[in-house]
Amino acid sequence: MPAFPIAPSVLAVIRAPRHAAWLAALAGLALLAGCADFRPPVYQRPETPAKAEWSRQESITVAPAEAVQPNWWLGFKDPYLNQLIERALAGNYDIKVLAARIRVANAQIGEARAGGLPVIDVGAGASFEKSTGQKSTWTYNAGAQLNWDIDIWGKVEKGVQAQTAEFRATEADWRAGYLTLVANVSTTYFQILQFDEQIEQQSRTVARNGQILSTYQAMYQSGLVPKIRVMQQQAEINRLNKDLLELRRSRDVAENALATLVGVPAGNLKVPAGRLQDRVQPPAVPAGLPSQLLARRPDVVAAEYRVLAAYNIVGQARLAQLPSISLTARGGTASFALSDLLKSFTFGFMPSINLPMLDPNVRARVKTTEAQVGVAENEYGRTVMTAFEEVETALVNVDAHKKQRIELQQQVEQLRVVSAQIEAQLKEGVVSQLEVFETERSLLAAQLQLLAVHQQILGDTITLYKALGGGWPEADVRNTALNPPQ
C-alpha cells in the first residue's frame, strides 16, 4: 500500500491505460485466434491416376491373384534356392538394419507418449563451509520437483499418432527390403547356374574345335591343307579358352556376391554346379488388380503411411497454437544437522498458462508442416507411378522373352543340323575353314542367347512378383487414420 492517500480520480487516471492495454491485448488475441486454424486435418489418400487393368495380362499365362503367396519363390521348385533364401533372411545385414529401425521407431512411440507425462526430479546434497575464526558448518538438503505440461487439446496424442504411422512405414520398409533381398538372392543364384551352363557349352565347343584341330593336323600331315589352317584353328581354340576363363571368373564374382547376400564371408560359400535350363523352370506369372497393388506393395504402403504421419504432424502443429497449462510443484527440506533433515519441509505449487499463438515461430511451424504434406503426397504419387511402370515393364519383358525363346529354340535346332553336316563335309575336304568357324560360332552364340533368354524370363518373373507386392497382405491406411491405436 502507498504511504500516502491517492484520490479516486487520480487512481482512475492511472488505471485507464492499464485497462486499455488489457483490452488491446485481448483484441489482438481474438484476432489471431480468428485467423488461425486449430483443427487437425482429416486424412485423405492422395489422388493418383487410376488404372483398372494391366495392358499385357491377356497375352501370358496368369495365376490368380490369391495364388501369390509370401513364399512365392517355392514356385521355382529348387530346394537349394529355398535354403539360400532362408539363410539370407536370417543372416543378411541389410535386413537386420531394417529390423533394427523398426525397433527404433517403436521406441520412439513411447518417447512421443512420454511428452504428456509428469516429470519428477528428486535430489539431495550436502555442503561444507569453513570461515577463518569460525567453526565449520555442514548443510544438508533434499528436495523434489514435479513439472507437468497438461495435454488438454491432444497435441501429444497427435505426435504419438504421427510416430505410430512412421512405425508402420518402417515395417513396410522392412517388407520392401525383404522382397529386394529374396529377389537379389534368386537372381544371383540363377546367374551362377547360367554361368555353369555357359561354361559347359563353352567347354564342349573347345572340345569340338580340338577335334577339328586334329582333323586339320591329319590333313596337313597328308599334304591336303597348308600349315596355316592348323595355326588358325589353334588360334580359334586360344580365343575360346580365353572366353572360358572369363566365364569362370564371372561365376566366382557372382558367388562372392551371393555369399554377402546370404550373410557369410565372401569365399566361404560354394554353390554346387548345375544347369539352369534343367534345374529351374519359371512358374505361372502372377497377377493382381492395380487397386490391390496399391494396398499390398510395401513401398507404396510405406509412402502412404508417411503421408498419414505428415497429416498428424500438421495436426500437432496446429494444436500447439492453443493455450497450454503447466503445473509445477516443489517440496524440500534443509538443516545443519543430518538428524534434523526430516523435521521440517517446505512446499510450493505454481500453475501457469502459456499462449503460444503469440509466438511467430509456432505459426511458422504450422506453415512448414503443411508444406511437408505436399512433399509426402507427391512422393506417394511418384511411388505409385513407379509401381505401375515396373509391373507393366515386367509383363512386356515376360511376353517378349517367351516369344524370343521359341525363335531361339528353332534356331539352335537348325544350326545343330548345319554343324553336323559341315563337320561331315570337313572330313571330305569340301568346305572351307571359314565355313567351319562361322558355323561353330553361330551355334555357340545361339545356344548362349537361348540360355540368356531363359535366365531373363526367370528374372522377369522375379521382378513381377516383387512389383506386385510379393504376396504381402493388404494394408488399410485410411482405417488406421480413422481408428488410431491407443
Give the other-Cβ count within 10 Å of 428's Cβ.
7
Which of the residue ranges 90-104, 319-333, 339-353, 372-386 would you say has the lowest mean pLDDT? Answer: 339-353
Whole-number pLDDT of residue 64: 52
Whole-number pLDDT of residue 30: 46
Per DSSP, helices labelled H in 290-432 are 290-296, 298-319, 360-428
**Residue 196, phi-psi category: left (phi > 0), alpha (psi -120 to 50), beta (remainder):** alpha
CA 150 to CA 117: how far, in whole Å?
A: 8
12 in a domain, yes or no?
no
Task: Please tell me the number of Cα atoms within 13 Å of 267 on its side-chain side.
Answer: 0
pLDDT at 380 over 90: yes
By C-alpha distance, which of 254, 265, 271, 261 is closest to 92? 261
Task: List C-alpha distances in Å: 465 to 92, 106, 353, 395, 420.
Answer: 21, 29, 57, 11, 42
C-alpha grid cell for residue 182?
529374396
**Mean pLDDT to the nearest integer, 236-249:** 95
Contact 303, 381 (CB under 8 A): no
Indicate the DSSP class of residue 337: S
CA 51 to CA 53: how far, in whole Å?
A: 6
The amino acid sitting at 46 is P
Sheet holding 137-150, edge to edge: 119-129, 137-150, 324-335, 346-354
More confident residue, 286 or 195: 195
Cell 547356374 belongs to residue: 193
For the domain that residue 92 is a member of, what is the CATH number? 1.20.1600.10
Task: List C-alpha distances in Å: 323 to 29, 34, 362, 367, 476.
Answer: 11, 14, 12, 19, 35
Which of the residue ranges 89-103, 310-324, 330-344, 391-405 would you say has the lowest mean pLDDT? Answer: 330-344
CA 19 to CA 195: how far, in whole Å?
A: 90
The amino acid sitting at 437 is F
Whole-number pLDDT of residue 5: 39
Report phi then psi at 139, rounded to 5: -125, 130
Contact 320, 155 (CB under 8 A): yes
**Largest CA-CA distance found in the chain, in angstroms, rounded:** 144
Whole-number pLDDT of residue 61: 56
Q: pLDDT per residue over 81-123, tens digit each?
A: 999 999 999 999 999 999 999 999 999 999 999 888 888 888 8
Which residues are 402's β-sheet partners? none
Question: Which are the contacts of 462, defined by CB distance < 8 A and separation ≥ 6?
Answer: 183, 186, 187
Element (H, E) at 170: helix 155-221
C-alpha grid cell for residue 65?
491373384
Whole-number pLDDT of residue 481: 66
Whole-number pLDDT of residue 485: 59
Give the other-Cβ count within 10 Å of 398's Cβ.
23
Whole-number pLDDT of residue 25: 45
159 in a domain, yes or no?
yes
30 in a domain, yes or no?
no
Which of the residue ranges 50-59, 216-225, 381-390, 434-443 would you say has the lowest mean pLDDT? Answer: 50-59
Reported confidence tier of residue 484, pLDDT bands at 50, 70, 90 = low
284 in a domain, yes or no?
yes
Burial track 451-478 (b if 16+ CB lie within 10 A, e otherwise): bbbbbbbbbbbbbbbbbbbbbbeebebe
**Mean pLDDT to the nearest integer, 267-280:** 92
Reported confidence tier of residue 311, pLDDT bands at 50, 70, 90 = very high
CA 395 to CA 243: how far, in whole Å?
A: 33
Which of the residue ranges 72-76, 119-123, 394-398, 403-407 would you say has the lowest mean pLDDT? Answer: 119-123
pLDDT at 11 over 50: no
Residue-averaged pLDDT of the chain: 83
**Mean pLDDT to the nearest integer, 432-458:** 85
Contact 201, 444 (CB under 8 A): yes
Total tally of structural domains belonging to the chain: 1
Question: Which are the contacts of 296, defined by CB distance < 8 A and separation ≥ 6?
Answer: 288, 468, 469, 472, 473, 474, 475
Q: pLDDT per residue over 14-52, tens digit each?
A: 344 444 444 444 444 444 555 567 888 888 888 888 777
Name, of 186-190, 210-214, 362-366, the range with top average pLDDT: 186-190
In terms of residue numbers, what domain contains 255? 35-118+153-322+376-482
Cell 538372392 belongs to residue: 185
By C-alpha distance, which of 433, 407, 409 is closest to 422? 433
C-alpha grid cell for residue 81?
534356392
Element (H, E) at 35: helix 8-35
129 in a domain, yes or no?
no
Whole-number pLDDT of residue 53: 78
Angle between helix 79-91 and 93-113 (nearest 10) = 40
CA 30 to CA 32: how far, in whole Å?
A: 5
pLDDT at 176 over 80: yes
Q: pLDDT per residue over 131-145, tens digit each?
A: 766 777 778 787 788
Question: Which are the contacts of 142, defined by CB distance < 8 A and separation ≥ 6?
Answer: 123, 124, 125, 332, 333, 334, 341
Reported confidence tier of residue 339, pLDDT bands at 50, 70, 90 = low
